[in-house]
Amino acid sequence: MRVAVSGASGLIGSALVPALRDAGHEVVRLVRREPATDDEAGWSPSAGMIQAERLAGVEAFVHLAGENIGQRWSERARRKILDSRVQGTTLIAETAAALEPRPHALVCASGIDYYGDRGDEELGEESGQGTGFAAGVVAAWEEAAGPARSAGIRVVHLRQGMVLSRRGGALQRLLTPFRLGVGGRVGSGRQWWPWISLPDVVRVYEHALASDLSGPVNAAAPETVTNEQFAKALGRALHRPAVLPLPAAAIKLAFGQMGEEMLLGSKRAAAARLLASGFAFDSPALDEGLEVALER
């Protein structure tokens, strides 16, 4: 296929683009500068600009771009987080709908934070929207793909858990304190932390492109773990103790609402639709996922 990818230089995109090319697909990278090669197309979500003429013949879009949500949520950061997702998704959805011939699929990154803080409740794709800023952002993000859905394009929203990689994301931030022997559970440690290995999430995107999946799809490994279980597993993987808890009050003081929702919130999400579609995880258990993440 000829596939256009936004966010191609990010954590997932930098692994997905070579994987797609290795599989024989032609990739067009959306870039926020003047294109330097024939396999790039310029775009600016905030300006509503995209070089649609460079996307001729694209059969599918993978949309990964968005402002980093793992930062303290000042008013400015909130606006950037929301706008980057809504503006970018709307622009890509409208562009895809207007192309001739029309692409057959739009696979969008999304977030497990759609469900909000739900305690021990088991969460499938049919579970409703939770409360909080992050849940509202995800809902608006997914809704922004409406123009593509209305045009008959198959749209998939991959609600990702924490992507495990030592090169980025939450795991990268956890490595230093754990390697120093000062890691441990966050808050009570009873909150559920959905996760997925980077190689598996790349394979999920490839699967979503090739399958007939549509709508929301939870992208989280089968072994669901609490934060305390995650901390112990990371300590084992690094051969370090994981006994120093980080109090909830310290998280709220350091990170504000972001810490309360993203680190202390509990989301026991299961990848029911993904597994039912025939996808098999290479790293279904956390010990395996951490081993892969720390090797790469």
φ/ψ of residue 274, rounded to 5: -65, -45
Per-residue pLDDT for 73 more than 80? yes
Rounded Cα gap, residues 32 and 10, in angstroms: 13
Q: Residue 176: its pLDDT value, please?
A: 94
Span 190-225, pLDDT tens digits: 999 999 999 999 999 999 999 999 999 999 999 999
Provide the pLDDT for residue 11. 97
Mean pLDDT of 62-87: 96
Query: Is pLDDT at 252 greater than 90 in this prediction?
Result: yes
Question: Which residues, in sequence order, are CB contacts of 243 under 8 Å at separation 6+?
Answer: 184
Q: Determine what percent of the chain is predicted with pLDDT higher than 90.
A: 99
Query: Residue 124's pLDDT is what?
Result: 97
- List % helix, strand, coil for the chain (3-state, nearest 5): 45, 20, 40
Mean pLDDT of 28-44: 97
Residues 285, 220: Cα–Cα separation, whole Å: 11
Residues 6+ apart with CB under 8 A from 152: 102
Distance from the first to the final alpha carbon of the chain:
28
Total-model pTM: 0.96
Average pLDDT over residues 179-200: 97
pLDDT in tens, 95-150: 999 999 999 999 999 999 999 999 999 999 999 999 999 999 999 999 999 999 99
* Amino acid 82: pLDDT: 98
Residue 202 to residue 284: CA distance in whole angstroms: 14
